Amino acid sequence: MKQLSLDALRTLVTVVDVGGFARAGELLGRSQPAISLQLKRLEDQLGRKLFNKVGQRQVINPDGEAVYRQAKSMLAINDDLFRQFEQSSLRGRLRLGIPSEFASTLLPSVVGEFSQLYPDVSLEVTSALSRNLLHDDTRDQFDLILALAPPNQPTKGEVVLEDKLVWVGDKRQALPDSQVSLVLAPHGCVYRSKVIEQLKQQTTAWRITYTNADLYGLIAAIRQGLGVTALARSSVPPELDLIRHRNLPDLGHVNICLFNQDTQHPEVSRTLADYIKGRLAR
């Protein structure tokens, strides 16, 4: 029976995730020709072209997209199995800093499954704005930080996902044409900065009606009809709806980054980082 190489599939996924052969080679410790050869062998094995040349770039095609989706699932199963049988060697305390919106959508699955696999790891979680988590006075309090960063801003963290920024609200609440009412986190929030920056570039009037650093506080205000807000698509909770309206401009993207600090338990920190990356990639 034919068998695909998980190594080749991981190369394909890395190329797509980071947006190029050269960058993937840097991350995987291989030359660009070696990356190209590995993907060519995968194409030969499948009997399909997975990339099309557009100008000087190789762009994934529909067949490649299909393989990419299946490859991510196969790699997730592979990585979960290794984590499961490595659990006995993982122990210690891990301090995780995470924005509140991801604490609401990501942590319920991560904490439950991670704790079952690694019962000897004590996980301490703090939710705050990305700016506060990464501040020089506080970042040393964490072993691992998940935070947001604008795509055009240099970061010392690992970019896990470039996510679409979307408008969210309550579809039962009508959005007036005359003015956009906003429910936002305080100053320093990446979402807030992007929303205000984009709204200032158009003529529609807008105002901030409510400010709260906690996602559940924002959800409560939205349900009371106080306005709309913006979030990374992967962090949108089930209580909120995607909102589209001619007065709501495109917000672009945001980088979701992991900052792995110097820690007494680097293996535990790396393992949780891999676990979070696997969940965000799904």
Over the chain (282 residues), what is each successive 10-residue block's mean pLDDT? 85 86 80 88 91 86 92 86 65 86 81 76 89 90 92 82 94 88 94 94 93 92 95 91 93 92 76 82 64
Contact 114, 123 (CB under 8 A): yes
For residue 86, the model assigns a pLDDT of 61
CATH 3.40.190.290 fits domain 91-282: yes
For residue 199, the model assigns a pLDDT of 94
List Cα–Cα distances, 4 to 16, 38, 58, 76, 200, in angstroms: 18, 12, 22, 15, 51
Instruction: Give me 232's structure tokens.
Output: 């990374």
For residue 156, the model assigns a pLDDT of 82
Fold for domain 6-85?
A: Arc Repressor Mutant, subunit A (1.10.10)
Exposed / middle / buried, residue 29 (Cβ in 10 Å: 0-12, 13-18, 19+): exposed
For residue 282, the model assigns a pLDDT of 61
User: Whole-model pTM above 0.75?
Assistant: no
What residues does each domain of the chain span? Answer: 6-85, 91-282
